[in-house]
Amino acid sequence: MNQYEGIIIFKGDLQEKQLEEEYSKVEALINKNEGKIEKTEKWGKKILSYEVKKYKDGFFLYISFQALAKSIKTFTDIFELNNNILRAQIVRQKS
């Protein structure tokens, strides 16, 4: 397993309940694919540097986790299909 970290930006107009459901979906996806979450940080709502999908702000989620390399493609594909996610970036940490 490799060590990864990611930042996911959710739409800025989500209600708190919807936002918590989205956070749970991300964590469940990682756990379902044999991953192990080490740390999550909810950075809250921030103004974006530029407009993304007609949104000027978004909720940021930082997540540090371990996962198999083959799972990362699955994560990014699912994140792209989720209408509540504006952007997602996952990078592998150096060993």
The predicted pLDDT at position 94 comes to 83
List the domains of the chain with CATH numbers.
2-92 (3.30.70.60)
Mean pLDDT, residues 72-84: 95
The predicted pLDDT at position 95 comes to 66
Q: How far apart are CA 48 and CA 40, in angstroms?
A: 20
Query: pTM for the whole thing?
Result: 0.92
Mean pLDDT, residues 40-57: 95
The predicted pLDDT at position 81 comes to 95
